[in-house]
Structure 1
Amino acid sequence: MATPITHLFTLMFLFTFFHCTSSLLNPQDEVGFLVELDHDVNMVQSKRCDFSDGKWVYDDSYPLYDPNCPYLSTAVTCQKNGRPDSDYEKWKWKPNACSIPRFDALRFLGNMTRKRIMLVGDSIMRNQWESLVCLVQGVILTGRKKVTYNGPAMAFHAMDFETSIEFFWAPLLVELKKDQGNKRVLHLDLIEENARSWRGVDILVFDSAHWWSHSNNTSSWDYYKEGNSLIKNMNPMVAYQKGLSTWARWVDLNLDPQKTKVIFRSMSPRHNKENGWKCYNQKQPLPFFSLQKHTPEPLVVLQGVLKRMRFPVYLQDITSMTALRRDGHPSVYRNAISQDEKQKQGTDHTSGCSHWCLPGVPDIWNEMLNALL
């Protein structure tokens, strides 16, 4: 005899199946992809739509989930921390050539049944992981979801769907270790210690850029190492290219594109004072005509590495669209502080302009991810 949980899961599955099937009959809902196999490019590309080319439009039906989602860390709960405005939650991204389907949690979980999804990278990827968990958790019964922790990894489990949404901390992808003299050494050609956790995963989403651009005062290593050579100074983008190439070789040699989908999300721009931006007290997206028309160097490096790969990796380019959203950062609302402290902090470098308030911008990245999957 079926249990109530089993019966609920069956109904959810049937709803998802028929919803997916009927939507495919509408050509406007289709987002098609192919693998280009010419001599220069081996990347998954959209047949119809460049998701990165579009505009932000205000939509009062957003956000997509309750801001009180229990899986959000304090640093991104800007409303709880006293942010007085909330319009930053209500902007959606509209590509010029198509539309991104609104995130449907049941449909997503139905498509991801018995699959492992792993987001690999830095704290901005953790930001995106929290967003994805909050997007799906509302349709799952309380006793049928949980989060587990294992070293650098954490995983949200949707038990009735046998689906896990995981985050793996590897901001540089390659290995960072301490040597016998307690010096921090970044091994540009070693990755297996991290990568062994990526085996057997159905969908891998990577990011890695921010840590590579840290200056000498804020970098997490004392030396680079390549082979037997210990190197004190190296151009950061040369080091980034070497580290990404190590990652690319591992993917090419160890993953099967018939079993694993790989997506690399481009860098999320900072809006801090160092690069001429600021995010404190910003309440609107930037207009398009104010966006500088150049490709950031880390994105150029990433594009070059992906083009040389045999494995079909999809580049999810969110850099330009996200550069317009200086209003979406926590700024001084990373924790609950007094109004006097907020005013004081808003005038100096302590305003947090790298991570994102949730609900907010990373929800749109996940709507794009959902369309790709």
Structure 2
Amino acid sequence: MASHLSLAYTTTGCGSTKTIMKLTWPKRGVKLPRVVIIRTGKWVYDPSYPLYDTSCPYLSTAVSCQKNGRPDSEYQKWKWKPHSCSIPRFDALKFLAKMRKKRIMLVGDSIMRNQWESLVCLVQGVIPTGRKKVTYNGISMGFHALDFDTSIEFCWAPLLVELKKGPENKRILHLDLIEENARYWRGVDILVFDSAHWWTHPEKKSWDFYMEGQSFFRNMNQMVAYQKGLTTWAKWVDLNLDPRQTRVIFRSMSPRHNRENGWKCYNQKTPLPSFSHQHVPEPLIVLQEVLKRMRFPVYLQDITTMSAFRRDGHPSVYRRVINQEERQHPTDFSSDCSHWCLPGVPDSWNEMLSAIL
């Protein structure tokens, strides 16, 4: 029988000591991991950044802001500096050495895909041509560093739980089903999850009905539904993963800067210097409560506050190629203030991720 331990432990050199969650260990002798929560700090200009070139071949068009015509590039030259500590500069060879013979998988939505592209671009430059490849398998894709026997994978599961077509082609979100997605997560050494944006889209929902057990619901409070979906994920992790074999990280939600009809990030060139008040998004509160109830020790990587300063880092209108004539009338186009230009903000998330690992 596992023994139940209520444990207080510290962050890895950044922030204050906190009681984070209750842990149930499968047996004695399991090394206690640390939870990394780096909420306070500032963005520091560093002319030695970015860490890779905008010509990285693994960048999708929607985040290739320089190629799409964005005229400024200073948004690439900021490094996140937590108070009272520092995050090491990303070292591709050291990262690959740590990941030798391992699989790391980033699971989530298009912003997690954004982070996956960043991580692949951070490492691919030190790998010789012909010793790297990308493979596809259902809802997952993987970048493989052949000499290190390392794979960096992305799995599309924006809600974590299952979204299926039902009668009359209705889209049904099953709050208590997850195995169709989770089967891709088995056997992975390091799992990094995120899930928030699809649950909280104010303008549209990706489903017509919720289903739990045999019960259908047309309407449900978004945060109640999110809590139910996360609880299904948490139960799967608790029942199917062994902390001696798999490390699990949950990355907090990436902030949007979509106010003012989606134009709050347009033409922004520097980070915000400060906030008048610090807002903790409701999905982050729900996530923390779910993690507290888990037996499995999940790392919470909090990138929400640090990224909220960076309204300059989004593609805005430069999510596609903008020609000279179109630049004269930018407000004729939609503005993406959710995803991130690369190189850019997700590189700092991955520097933090490398430090955790």
Is the TM value for this pair above 0.5? yes
User: Paired residue for 1:202?
Assistant: 189
User: Paired residue for 1:117?
Assistant: 104
| In 1, Cα distance between equivalents of 2:261 and 2:68 | 26
| CA positional deviation for 1:206 | 0.2
When residues 230 and 274 of structure 1 are mapped into structure 2, their CA distance, relative to the original with a 3 A threshold, is farther
User: Paired residue for 2:241?
Assistant: 255
| In 1, Cα distance between equivalents of 2:264 and 2:13 | 38
Match of 1:222 among 208, 226, 248: 208
When residues 353 and 40 of structure 1 are mapped into structure 2, their CA distance, relative to the original with a 3 A threshold, is closer
The 3-state SS of whatever aligns with 2:153 is strand
Residue 308 of structure 1 pairs with residue 280 of structure 2: no
| CA positional deviation for 1:168 | 0.1
The 3-state SS of whatever aligns with 1:45 is coil
Match of 1:351 among 323, 335, 355: 335
Deviates more, 1:314-323 or 1:274-283: 274-283
TM-score, normalised to structure 1's length? 0.86
Aligned 1:8-27 pairs, distance under 5 A: none
When residues 144 and 276 of structure 1 are mapped into structure 2, their CA distance, relative to the original with a 3 A threshold, is closer
Q: Is the 8 Å Cα contact of residues 37 and 301 (structure 2) preserved in structure 1?
A: no
Structure in which a larger fraction of residues adopt helix: 1
| CA positional deviation for 1:109 | 0.3
| In 1, Cα distance between equivalents of 2:37 and 2:259 | 30
User: Paired residue for 2:57?
Assistant: 70
Residue 135 of structure 1 pairs with residue 116 of structure 2: no
Aligned 1:1-373 pairs, distance under 5 A: 31=12, 40-42=21-23, 44-46=33-35, 50-215=37-202, 218-273=204-259, 278-288=264-274, 290-346=275-331, 350-373=334-357
When residues 275 and 242 of structure 1 are mapped into structure 2, their CA distance, relative to the original with a 3 A threshold, is farther
| CA positional deviation for 1:53 | 1.5
Residue-by-residue CA offset, 1:105-152 (whole Å, 9 max, x unaligned): 000000100000000000000000000000000000100000011121
| CA positional deviation for 1:214 | 1.7
| In 2, Cα distance between equivalents of 1:338 and 1:319 | 33
| CA positional deviation for 1:97 | 1.7
Q: Is the 8 Å Cα contact of residues 82 and 336 (structure 1) preserved in structure 2?
A: yes
Q: Aligned-pair RMSD on alpha carbons?
A: 2.1
Residue-by-residue CA offset, 1:87-110 (whole Å, 9 max, x unaligned): 000000001021100000000000
| In 1, Cα distance between equivalents of 2:160 and 2:219 | 20
| In 1, Cα distance between equivalents of 2:19 and 2:201 | 36
Residue-by-residue CA offset, 1:326-371 (whole Å, 9 max, x unaligned): 00000000111223434433376x1110000000000000000000
The 3-state SS of whatever aligns with 1:127 is helix
| In 2, Cα distance between equivalents of 1:326 and 1:343 | 22
Q: Is the 8 Å Cα contact of residues 331 and 346 (structure 1) preserved in structure 2?
A: no
User: Paired residue for 1:8?
Assistant: none
| In 1, Cα distance between equivalents of 2:300 and 2:263 | 26
Residue-by-residue CA offset, 1:26-69 (whole Å, 9 max, x unaligned): xxxx9569xx99795349535xx742211100000000011100
| CA positional deviation for 1:203 | 0.1
The 3-state SS of whatever aligns with 1:280 is coil
When residues 64 and 97 of structure 1 are mapped into structure 2, their CA distance, relative to the original with a 3 A threshold, is same
| In 2, Cα distance between equivalents of 1:39 and 1:203 | 21
Residue-by-residue CA offset, 1:272-309 (whole Å, 9 max, x unaligned): 12689710000010012x35322110100001100110
When residues 362 and 134 of structure 1 are mapped into structure 2, their CA distance, relative to the original with a 3 A threshold, is same
The 3-state SS of whatever aligns with 2:339 is coil
Q: Percent identical across equivalent pairs? A: 74
| In 2, Cα distance between equivalents of 1:71 and 1:213 | 29
**Unpaired runs of 5+ in structure 2?**
1-10, 24-31
| In 1, Cα distance between equivalents of 2:18 and 2:295 | 9
**Aligned partner letter, 2:268:** Q
**Unpaired runs of 5+ in structure 1?**
1-29
When residues 305 and 343 of structure 1 are mapped into structure 2, their CA distance, relative to the original with a 3 A threshold, is farther
TM-score, normalised to structure 2's length? 0.90
The total of aligned residue pairs comes to 337
| In 2, Cα distance between equivalents of 1:87 and 1:320 | 20
| In 2, Cα distance between equivalents of 1:177 and 1:343 | 43
